[in-house]
């Protein structure tokens, strides 16, 4: 069962400048940064709030680290902006299977490692009214190092 908006992914050309915009404009601070080599991105997670299910909601800022990454290709086509929405779930495997059973294409056969040790998969945007949708099971709090 989907429990919350985990994060909104925003593609950007310059991660540091984009982080500074969100810090200076809204007061959001960086909660976590990492480079995801598999996805070819450098990212910053800005925590917006805690949620009732023990998770949190974030803005995820994504800067491509190589030109062949999905985010780099998306930026070249669309420019900076909202890249995807992610919904939190206690069981990404079960929810992905349930959604697949409803005819929505799930992009990964098995969930992959996401930000802060989470497990993730994506749903095809053409099956979700043009919105790239991510399902996220957060790592236990003690595993999510900054």
> Active-site positions?
7, 43, 60, 84, 134
Q: How many CB atoms lie within 10 A of CB 100?
A: 13
Burial code (b: 16+ CB inside 10 Å, e: under 16) for 8-43 equals bbbbbeebeebbeebeeeeebeebbebebeebbbbb
């Amino acid at each position: 069962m989907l429990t919350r908006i985990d994060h909104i992914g925003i593609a950007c050309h310059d991660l540091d400048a984009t982080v500074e915009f969100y810090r200076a404009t809204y007061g959001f601070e960086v909660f976590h940064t990492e480079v995801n080599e598999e996805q070819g991105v450098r990212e910053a997670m800005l925590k917006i709030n805690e949620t009732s299910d023990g998770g949190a909601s974030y803005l995820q800022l994504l800067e491509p680290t190589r030109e062949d990454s999905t985010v780099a290709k998306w930026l070249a086509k669309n420019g900076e902006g909202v890249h995807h929405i992610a919904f939190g779930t206690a069981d990404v495997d079960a929810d992905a299977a349930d959604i697949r059973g409803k005819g929505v294409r799930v992009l990964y056969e098995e969930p992959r490692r996401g930000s802060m040790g989470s497990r993730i998969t994506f749903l095809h945007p053409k099956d979700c009214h043009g919105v790239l949708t991510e399902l996220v099971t957060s790592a236990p709090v003690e595993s999510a190092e900054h």
